[in-house]
Amino acid sequence: MVMKAIKFLFTVMAVATVAVATAVEKPKMNVVPLTSDKAVVSISNENPAMFELSIVAENGDLVYYKESTKPLNSYQKVFDLKELPNGSYTFNLKINDTNLSKNIEVASKGISVGKSKLSFDPYFNYANNVLKFSYLNFDSESFALNIYNDGVLIYESKLGKDFNMMNGYDLSALNAGKYDVVLSSANKEFTYSLEK
């Protein structure tokens, strides 16, 4: 059976983790209330990069979205939030594989800003019939890795809640074709496509 043919290769890829950790962006995002209904958002990054900035309501509705048209080191915008209903919102900044979020509360008494939360997208690599991935699980969520071929689940693995997830899988027994690798938790999902 194909599921049994996919073998666990290794759990320690320290060299790969160091290489990935040193290549990530280190953006900064400040949200500063100016008045009871206005806030200025300032973004800075060491190197010029494309970015995506969004504001999401607590129910998941997208309130604002901006994607840069060219690589930038910095960006600043004043947001007028008076039209937003009172509640919780999240400012999300994505630069390459680095994500930075900051929660805010909009209320009649004014805007309050929470702490920043940093996360990174997982690193996937497929070469010589070996699939490798690593992920830093800052939120200690329980993750699973599933492999699909034409939408059919052919392999699943419960990974647990470890902070530093690093695994490798021998895919040499799989037939030629296109596969989707899905790393998911209750709140997050990352997909990597490969062709064998």
Percent of the chain with pLDDT over 90: 74
Q: What is the pLDDT of residue 15?
A: 34
Q: Mean pLDDT lowest for which of 8-12, 36-40, 102-106?
A: 8-12
- Looking at domain 122-195, what is its CATH homologous superfamily? Immunoglobulins (2.60.40.10)
Element (H, E) at 91: strand 87-95
Q: Report the mean per-residue pLDDT for the chain.
A: 87
Give tens-digit pLDDT for 38-91: 999 999 999 999 999 999 999 989 999 999 999 999 999 999 999 899 999 999
143 contacts: CB under 8 Å, gap ≥ 6? 135, 137, 159, 160, 161, 165, 183, 184, 185
Of 184, 111, 89, 103, the C-alpha closest to 142 is 184
Domain with CATH 2.60.40.1930 in the chain: 25-120
Sign of the dihedral defined by the CA atoms of residues 12, 14, 16, 20, in that order: positive
The identity of residue 113, as a single letter, is V
Q: What is the pLDDT of residue 187?
A: 85
Domain with CATH 2.60.40.10 in the chain: 122-195
Q: State whether CATH 3.30.559.10 applies to domain 25-120.
A: no
